[in-house]
């Protein structure tokens, strides 16, 4: 455990030294400080908590730098506040987000990340804070309304998401197009270069709400749970986050945010899932 | 350091994913060759249109210059997104144009080819122009005074000399084009970078990307050396050429 | 005066040409009879080269008429614009020009330089063009250089290829624009010899030159130009030995003193 932590710190040091050398800057103070490499801003008063997220992915994360919003963002802010920290979001690419986390680029990930065994190998997840389903998103009237119906069609997904994994494992797609950004997949659907997109339901709902003649033809229960992630071995931080999350659920903040972003009350199971695990 | 090596230079991992990455790189090669050949031809056409003489061709020249200015100024990435998003939505186009499937390649491959050809055609037109303008005006006069038309003179006298002069810079542009084909990963063309980052997102190991980089170098390095050789040979011709004339 | 083609193969009437604000030719009149060799002298900038380039429409005049074999070649659709017009082919098939800088095609051999236009413009077959080209190159003394590229030839040899190239189009009139000025002195003679031979064969020639000896020997007529007009013209002996005009005397003095 401590070995992993050491290597993580070492990786940060390496990145720090390399970037210092590259910048031609002589000061070496920064490289001895631990963890976060985001510079501190004192908005909320607490010690900053650097959080990585692939923005935009509405309604989970959206907005402009300095003014990010979304379910993940606001929930993480509440969690951080509960533990006396101030969440600072950093926009990053989802396909390398866990790698960056393991290397110490930020301390936590809040990016609609599904908890999977594969990912558990590199990072540690908090208790689930959201239960997700995948949606098949199509143009209105398209008869692709089940996983079986994906057979032989051109399907778009965002690269590195569970949607991709799901289609690769269960859907017999004729061609699978992996877009670096979720919205690109939706645009490809609108322009007609893909016939269906498989993505998280809330994101798909957002795409439908934005107009353009799209509909969700099927919801696929995948028993997916979203969790916040921290680097492996960061037990203390993980416990703090779980505690902060529990507090947010108990005091009603969670429900308020859930209704704000998903227009309905959170499923009861989320509370039990959270309490069970902790 | 070990972490870094494992992350980027895990040779066992590279061997394991070699076939996948090679398959992606093969798409890169196809993109490069098809777009490269088309851009070379398109650039030559643009450069020739730009040289048409007389008042009658003024509109043609103006349109050509505007085209070159615009597409040298628009980032290729943006153009790729615009074309891939825009063309399929043009309902008035027939399906084989909106969603081309030529040579068994999917439509996004061809949108990539189109965007790269449009942009690099503009770049290469400028390279050709530099070559055409480096041919002494006396060549055109000599050809015209022998009764050749402007077109004949361009084709038989000016362009052969111009292309010889700019062969090395054209090849340089081709190397840049090869590297820029990676941009079409944004429209989900399964080329070397997309395959590499896909493997990375599944395995949390970046060595597949490193492998992709190595494959690029295996192609671009020899090309770059070849360009250097051409340039030094061209310079050698000039320094040796003069005394040779005197000697006779 | 209006004695037709046999009398004046080439007739220039009141030729004007300007480049921007600079009026290079300010009303030039000249008659050239068939078989006549006219040598044009004058200080640099006097407009001699421009006059030659007007005759084959490389620089079409803005004003005035040029009659080539009784055809007014300055009139016609889009004349004066530098674009292809009906009379351009007529002119270029009858008038050949040789430049100071040779302007050989460097990517072609000596023979290819001479055959290219024959094939492309006159539509001659490859073998016909080659036969003609070989004969012409032999005539200018380059039988052994057929397959050499220009960069391997001396200046004098290159200029002789250029003459052969112009002759390959069977011109009726030949223009020579300071054809020996870019040559080393020892190479001048071999080129002038070719001109001499051409003159003796009855070719109509306009020769812009600084070679007074050549002009005296070969020229049927000397034209002295200055500041865009013809100052004086006449038989070589008259113009060179007893110039009437002060400007001519001054120029000849400068050239001879050299």
What's the pLDDT at A23? Answer: 46
**A99 in B contact zone (CB under 8 Å):** yes
| A192 reaches B (C-beta below 8 A) | yes
Can you tell me the mean pLDDT for B183-201? Answer: 88
The Cα A141–Cα A188 span in angstroms is 17
| Cβ contact, residue pair A94, B86, below 8 Å | no
Q: Which residues of C touch B156 (CB under 8 A)?
A: 116, 120
* Coil vs helix vs strand at C146: coil
Contact residues, B window 206-245, toward C, CB-based 8 Å cutoff: 241, 244-245
Question: Do the domains A132-224 and A47-129+227-266 match in fold?
Answer: yes
Residues 89-128 of B with CB under 8 A from A: 89, 98-99, 106-108
- Which of B51, B135, B146, B164 is most worth mutating to test chain C (most C CB atoms within 10 A of its CB)? B146
Mutation for B interface: A113, A118, A121, A178, most B CBs within 10 A = A178
Contact with chain C for residue B58, Cβ under 8 A = no
Q: Which residues contact A177 (CB under 8 A, 6 or more apart)?
A: A154, A155, A156, A157, A185, A188, A193, A194, B108, B188
Which residue in C84, C116, C169 is closest to B149 by CB distance? C84
Question: Considering chain C, what is the average pLDDT of its residues?
Answer: 88
Domain boundaries defined on chain A: 47-129+227-266, 132-224
A28 touches B: beta carbon within 8 Å: no
With contacts defined as CB-CB under 8 Å, which chain A residues touch B108? Answer: 177, 188, 193
Say which CATH architecture domain B33-182 belongs to.
Orthogonal Bundle (1.10)
Which residues, in sequence order, are CB contacts of A200 under 8 Å at separation 6+? A60, A112, A132, A133, A134, A135, A161, A162, A163, A224
**C-beta separation of B121 from B43 below 8 A:** yes
Residue A115 is encoded by which pair of tokens? 């908890």
Q: Could you give the ipTM of this predicted complex?
A: 0.89
Neighboring chain C residues of B53 at a CB cutoff of 8 Å: 82-83
Nearest-Cα residue of chain B relative to residue C81? B54
Judge whether A193 is closer than 8 Å to chain B, CB to CB.
yes
Subunits that touch chain B (at least 3 Cβ pairs < 8 angstroms)? Answer: A, C
Chains that touch A (3 or more CB pairs under 8 A): B
Task: Say if domain A47-129+227-266 classifies as CATH 3.40.50.2000.
Answer: no
Q: Please report residues of B whose CB lies closer than 8 A to that of C117.
A: 143, 146-148
Q: Extract the runs of DSSP E, i.e. beta strands, from B112-214.
A: none
> What is the model's pLDDT at position A85?
93
Q: Which of C59, C80, C105 is best to mutate for the B interface (most B CBs within 10 A)?
A: C105
Distance from CA of B65 to the nearest CA of C (A): 21
Taking phi over 0 as left and psi of -120 to 50 as alpha, with beta for the rest, A106 belongs to beta
Each residue's pLDDT tens digit, B47-89: 999 988 878 889 999 999 999 999 999 999 999 999 988 888 8
Touching C (3+ Cβ pairs <8 A), the chains are: B
- Do C and A touch, 3+ Cβ pairs within 8 Å? The answer is no
CA A46 to chain CA mean position, Å: 23
Residue B101 in contact with partner chain C when CB distance is under 8 A: no
Which of B198, B204, B205, B206 should be substituted to probe chain A, the one whose Cβ sees the most A Cβ atoms within 10 Å? Answer: B204
Q: Which residues on chain B are in Cβ contact (under 8 Å) with C93?
A: 147
Query: Nearest CA to CA, how far is C89 from chain B (Å)?
Result: 6
Residue in C78, C121, C152 closest to B147 by CB: C121
Residue C87 or residue C25, greater confidence: C25
Q: Which residues of B116-133 are buried (b: 16+ CB within 10 A; e: fewer)?
A: bbbbbbbbbbbbbbebbe
C-alpha distances in Å from residue C251, one per residue of A40, C116, C228, C234, C256? 87, 41, 15, 16, 9
Higher per-residue pLDDT: B237 or C27: C27
B55–chain C Cβ distance below 8 A for any pair: yes
Q: Are the beta carbons of A190 and B1 separated by less than 8 Å?
A: no
Query: Residue C250 belongs to what H/E stretch?
Result: helix C246-257
User: Which residues of C are less than 8 Å from B148 in CB distance?
Assistant: 117, 120-121
Question: Which whole-number Å values give the CA distances from A117 to A110, A121, A126, C31, in the listed order?
Answer: 18, 7, 13, 101
Beta-carbon contacts of B57 under 8 Å, excluding residues fewer than 6 positions away, are: none
* Calpha distance B78→A243 (Å, rounded): 45
What is the chain A residue with the closest CA to B111? A193
Contact B147 C117 (CB under 8 A): yes
Residues of B in contact with A159 (CB under 8 A): 194, 197-198, 201
CB within 8 Å: A99 and B186: no
Q: Model confidence over B119-130: pLDDT tens digits?
A: 999 999 999 999
Nearest CA in chain A to B88: A191
User: Helices A253-262 and A235-250, interaxial angle, to 10°?
Assistant: 80
- Residue B82, chain A, CB below 8 Å: the answer is no
CB A110 within 8 Å of CB A72: yes
Would the CB atoms of A154 and B98 count as touching at under 8 Å? no
Query: Which residue shows structure tokens 């690029």?
Result: B216
> Is the CB of B88 less than 8 angstroms away from the CB of A192?
yes
Residues of A in contact with B2 (CB under 8 A): 7
- Residue A137 Cα to chain centre, angstroms: 20
Chain C: residue whose CA lies nearest to B247: C154
Alpha carbon distance B61, A65 (integer Å): 44
Inform me whether the C-beta atom of residue A177 falls under 8 Å from chain B C-beta atoms: yes
Is the CB of C105 less than 8 angstroms away from the CB of B138?
no
Q: Are C258 and C213 in contact (CB under 8 A)?
A: no
* CATH code for the part of the protein at A132-224: 3.40.190.10
Nearest-5° Cα angle at A239, A101 to A123: 25
Of B138, B145, B157, nearest to C101 by CB-CB distance is B138
Structure tokens at B127: 């390279």
Between chains, do C92 and B136 touch, taking CB under 8 Å as contact?
Answer: no
| Whether B194 contacts chain A with CB within 8 A | yes
pTM of the model: 0.75
User: Taking CB atoms and an 8 Å limit, are B188 and A156 in contact across chains?
Assistant: yes
Closest CA to C138 of C128, C149, C130, C127: C130
Please state the φ and ψ torsions of residue A164, each to the nearest 5 degrees.
-60, -50
In tens digits, what is the pLDDT along chain A, a chain of 278 residues?
344 444 555 455 445 444 544 444 333 344 333 333 343 344 445 789 999 999 988 889 998 888 899 999 999 999 999 999 999 999 998 888 998 998 889 999 999 998 988 888 889 999 999 887 888 999 988 888 888 888 889 999 988 888 888 888 887 888 899 998 888 888 889 888 899 999 888 888 888 888 788 988 888 877 778 999 999 989 999 999 999 999 999 999 999 998 898 877 787 766 665 554 43
Place of tokens 């969440």: A87
- Domain range list for chain B: 33-182, 190-234
- d(Cα A106, Cα A49) in Å, to the nearest integer? 8
Contact C105 B54 (CB under 8 A): no
Give the model's confidence band at C78: pLDDT under 50 very low, under 70 low, under 90 confident, else very high: low
């Amino acid at each position: 455990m401590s070995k992993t932590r050491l290597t993580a710190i070492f990786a940060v040091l390496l990145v720090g030294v390399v970037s210092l050398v590259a910048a031609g800057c002589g000061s070496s103070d920064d490289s001895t400080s631990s963890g976060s490499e985001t510079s501190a801003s004192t908005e909320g008063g607490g010690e900053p908590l650097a959080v990585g997220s692939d923005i935009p992915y509405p309604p989970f994360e959206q907005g402009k730098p300095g003014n990010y919003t979304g379910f993940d963002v606001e929930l993480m802010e509440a969690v951080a506040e509960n533990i006396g920290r101030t969440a600072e979001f950093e926009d990053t690419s989802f396909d390398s987000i866990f790698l960056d986390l393991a290397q110490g680029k930020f301390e936590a990930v809040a990016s609609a990340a599904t908890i999977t065994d594969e990912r558990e190998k590199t990072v540690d997840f908090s208790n689930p804070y959201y239960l997700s389903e995948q949606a098949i998103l199509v143009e209105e009237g398209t008869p692709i309304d089940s996983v079986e119906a994906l057979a032989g069609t051109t399907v778009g997904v965002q690269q590195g998401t569970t949607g991709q994994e799901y289609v690769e494992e269960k859907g017999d797609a004729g061609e699978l197009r992996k877009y670096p950004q979720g919205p690109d997949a939706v645009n490809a659907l609108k322009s007609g270069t893909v016939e269906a997109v498989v993505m998280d339901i809330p994101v798909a709902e957002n795409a439908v709400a934005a107009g353009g003649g799209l509909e969700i033809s099927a919801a696929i229960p995948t028993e997916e749970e979203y969790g916040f992630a921290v680097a492996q071995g960061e037990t203390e931080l993980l416990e703090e986050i779980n505690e902060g999350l529990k507090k947010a659920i108990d005091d009603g903040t969670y429900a308020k945010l859930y209704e704000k972003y998903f227009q309905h009350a959170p499923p009861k199971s989320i509370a039990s899932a959270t309490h069970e695990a902790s | 350091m070990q972490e870094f090596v494992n992350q980027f230079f895990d040779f066992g991992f590279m061997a394991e994913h070699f076939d996948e990455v090679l398959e992606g790189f093969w798409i890169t090669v196809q993109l490069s060759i098809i777009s490269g050949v088309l851009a070379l031809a398109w650039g030559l056409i643009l450069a020739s249109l730009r040289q048409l003489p007389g008042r009658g061709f003024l509109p043609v020249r103006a349109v050509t210059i505007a085209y070159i200015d615009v597409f040298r100024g628009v980032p290729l990435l943006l153009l790729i997104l615009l074309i891939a998003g825009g063309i399929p939505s043009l309902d008035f186009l027939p399906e084989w144009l909106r969603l081309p499937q030529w040579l068994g390649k999917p439509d996004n491959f061809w949108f990539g080819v189109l965007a790269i050809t449009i942009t690099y055609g503009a770049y290469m037109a400028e390279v050709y122009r530099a070559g055409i303008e480096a041919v002494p005006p006396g060549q055109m006069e000599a050809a015209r005074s022998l009764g050749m038309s402007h077109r004949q003179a361009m084709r038989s006298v000016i362009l052969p000399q111009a292309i010889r002069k700019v062969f090395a810079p054209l090849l340089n542009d081709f190397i840049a084009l090869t590297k820029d084909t990676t941009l079409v990963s944004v429209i989900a063309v399964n080329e070397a970078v997309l395959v590499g980052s896909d493997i990375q997102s599944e395995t949390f190991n970046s060595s597949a990307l490193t492998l992709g980089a190595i494959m690029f170098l295996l192609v671009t390095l020899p090309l770059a050396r070849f360009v250097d050789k051409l340039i030094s040979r061209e310079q050698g011709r000039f320094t040796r050429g003069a005394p040779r004339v005197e000697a006779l | 005066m209006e004695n037709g083609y046999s009398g004046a193969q080439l007739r220039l009437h009141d030729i004007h040409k300007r480049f921007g604000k600079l009026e290079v030719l300010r009303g030039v009149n000249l008659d050239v009879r068939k078989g006549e060799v006219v040598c044009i002298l004058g200080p640099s900038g006097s407009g001699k080269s421009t006059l030659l380039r007007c005759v084959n429409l490389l620089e079409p005049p803005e004003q005035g008429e040029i009659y080539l074999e009784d055809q007014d070649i300055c009139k016609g659709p889009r004349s004066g614009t530098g674009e292809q017009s009906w009379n351009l082919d007529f002119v270029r098939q009858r008038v050949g020009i040789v430049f100071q800088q040779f302007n050989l095609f460097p990517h072609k051999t000596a023979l290819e330089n001479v055959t290219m236009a024959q094939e492309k413009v006159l539509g001659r077959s490859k073998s016909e063009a080659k036969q003609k080209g070989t004969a012409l190159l032999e005539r200018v003394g380059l039988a052994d250089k057929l397959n050499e590229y220009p960069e391997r030839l001396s200046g004098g040899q290159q200029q002789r290829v250029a003459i052969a190239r112009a002759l390959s189009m069977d011109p009726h009139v030949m223009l020579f624009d300071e054809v020996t000025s870019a040559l080393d002195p020892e190479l001048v003679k071999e080129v002038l010899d070719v001109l001499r031979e051409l003159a003796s064969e009855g070719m109509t020639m306009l020769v812009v030159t600084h070679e007074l000896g050549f002009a005296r020997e070969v020229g049927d007529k000397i034209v002295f130009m200055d500041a865009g007009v013809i100052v004086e013209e006449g038989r070589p002996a008259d113009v060179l030995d007893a110039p009437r005009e002060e400007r001519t005397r001054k120029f000849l003095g400068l050239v001879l003193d050299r």
